[in-house]
Chain A
């Protein structure tokens, strides 16, 4: 897959590319994405607050000319970012943005559901040609509307709504054509669905659509793995091992595809990769019969319990080492789940309940202490490595 460098709002931000050419000492020849712009704005605010403190305590004192130059540069950046993306200027704006994101997410789901029910309501009254035309036009129209809205929506919230509706229209299009013409259900339908979701995600910088696309990719490749194992594709979930190849591939995506412009996307690949690996391991650690292996189910369970502990511990280590908080946190959550599941197997029946929960609480405290220790060690290492 080629490295993506999707210029989302080329017509607006093209001018910014020139004005923002010098960023952080590096020559950057492209316009920043929304996420990058927001990150930069946050960094500028933090810098301004810290500079005020340093000056207040007499650590450093900038000349009036220097202060003016920095202020002018920052206000120019803010103005450009605001014009292109409607970024958050302060903490209050950020809190409001969270509300807007939630509303936008719920609205996107509701509108997508509305489109599906609307078509269900009327499609039976249309002749076949009109049904096909309506489905195709809905898919094309909603996609075109998304592109149009994206070019005019600085906030991104309306783009998200439109993109979700476009994806729903396309899914409806293919699913309903299959129903109208009695087409045999096939896992291959997941390929174009994943394609459109990923295209919308990258061209509109939408993590929600990326998650949707990743789910389609997981379903397709797991079904493919199941089909290679000789199973009817719809039953791919009955063998949790079918998820392993795609889980590993997803986790490695950010290693091979540069996601500098989409910082949130790399984290999503990591999280979905880990979930697609560790959830099936959790199932197999408790239900050995579901495995491809023909060993005794209790042996399979034991084997996957070990795998679960090893992989979640490795995720904690890797997350701490590479500074991937999402990997570290997912690893911690699964390590604790595997641990608690094992404790449940061993002690639930034999221990008084107060003692059982006391042990769980103590284990949680132990995890906190270990993680704190890890954090302190990392901090010391970083401080020691500085000149």
Chain B
């Protein structure tokens, strides 16, 4: 029988606190050691400032929110750019990919038994590939340009119709948003083996790996149910801003302290991804005149 004195309890408590902190800090050191697994230069389009209320007096910390997107299936002529923020059912996350991620996809999706089964399957943690301003973004951009061209062609054929004029205005606004405001960061692949994924996406300035969650959805494609994966979240969706870089964001965090209406945020943030796929900020720059 162990007899504990107050001293034993005190020593055990101190050891517990110190060891826990040490393990956590060592994991951070390990993550940031060596060459980063990837460094993406993200702008205000991919890393959003929090709303003023969040960054208000009650919380002096600052974290930038990762805005990531998914290239959805183009269904019924709908825009690929629509409804693709923070989750989605990309075409590449098909049955074969889901099986490779460890999901049991043997049941047919078009039976009641299959629907019940897939509704019950919960999210799994997998590795996701983030692509910055790559082919996925280019596809969305091309899609928006094509929409504008189609709308302009329709208006040219019948200039008297107001609805066609409105459609052109909407397509112009969408293209402008895609070119200047929307996030260019897309989840383009998933897997379980980080090395295999990195071999497939070797460009470390354009591709980064992160942990995230994938669940199952049954989507209707041309009236037929089809099993698809749904990317439901990233394990880390905010990146903390250390005090050394905080100053760059002050004009947009505390507009009352600056003369006149602040211009829309414009900044570039270098984010490195380490051995544990955890990100951190390595540099922040603000273009002159912002």
Contact = CB atoms under 8 A, between A and B. Distances in A.
Contacts of A170: 17, 20
Contacts of B52: none
Given A124-B243, A181-B280, A294 B24 contact: no
B213 interface: yes
Interface residues of B, number: 54
A139 interface: yes
Nearest to B2: A2
B13 A232 contact: no
Interface string A146-188: 0100110000000000000000001001100111111111000
A222 to B, nearest CB: 14
B6 A230 contact: no
B278 A7 contact: no
B246 interface: yes
Given A121-B57, A121-B60, A185 B243 contact: no
B3 A7 contact: yes
A125 B60 contact: yes
A267 interface: no
Contacts of A128: 242-243
Contacts of B120: 289, 294
Contacts of A174: 20-21, 24
Given A121-B57, A181-B240, A181-B280, A132 B125 contact: no
Interface stretch (A20-28, A191-199, A351-359, A364-372): A191-199
Given A124-B246, A179-B240, A181-B278, A232 B125 contact: yes
Interface string B104-134: 0000000000001101101111000000000
B16 A196 contact: yes
A125 B276 CA distance: 27
B55 to A, nearest CB: 9
B243 A126 contact: yes
B63 A179 contact: yes
A384 interface: no
Contacts of B235: 184-185
A309 interface: no
Contacts of A47: none
A184 B17 contact: no
Residues of A contacting B: mostly:
helix
Given A147-B9, A294-B117, A183 B60 contact: no
A256 interface: no
A121 to B, nearest CB: 6
A235 B125 CA distance: 11
A238 B20 CA distance: 29
B240 A182 contact: yes
Contacts of A127: 242-244
A154 to B, nearest CB: 14
Contact of B21 (A2, A117, A173): A173
Contact of B13 (A9, A11, A200): A200
A182 B279 contact: yes
A307 interface: no
B5 A7 contact: yes
Interface in A126-143: 126-128, 132, 135-136, 139-140, 143
B10 A147 contact: yes
A196 B243 contact: no
Interface in A229-251: 230-233, 235, 238-239
Nearest to A7: B5
Contact of A177 (B9, B21, B57, B61): B21
Interface residues of A, number: 59
Nearest to B120: A289
Contacts of B246: 124
A179 B61 contact: yes
B233 to A, nearest CB: 9
B119 A230 contact: no
A123 B25 contact: no
Given A150-B6, A151-B6, A173-B17, A123 B122 contact: no
Contacts of A151: 6
A147 B59 contact: no
A8 B6 contact: yes
28 contacts: A6-B4, A6-B9, A7-B4, A9-B6, A10-B6, A120-B60, A122-B60, A123-B61, A124-B59, A124-B61, A124-B62, A124-B243, A125-B60, A126-B243, A127-B243, A128-B242, A147-B6, A147-B10, A178-B24, A179-B63, A181-B31, A183-B278, A184-B236, A184-B277, A184-B278, A199-B13, A239-B122, A297-B116
Given A127-B242, A294-B120, 19 more contacts: A4-B4, A5-B1, A5-B4, A6-B4, A120-B60, A126-B243, A132-B25, A140-B18, A143-B14, A170-B20, A173-B17, A174-B24, A181-B31, A181-B278, A181-B280, A183-B24, A184-B278, A202-B9, A231-B122
Q: What are the 4 A-B residue pairs with the smallest beta carbon separation, nearest first?
A: A124-B60, A203-B9, A192-B20, A124-B61
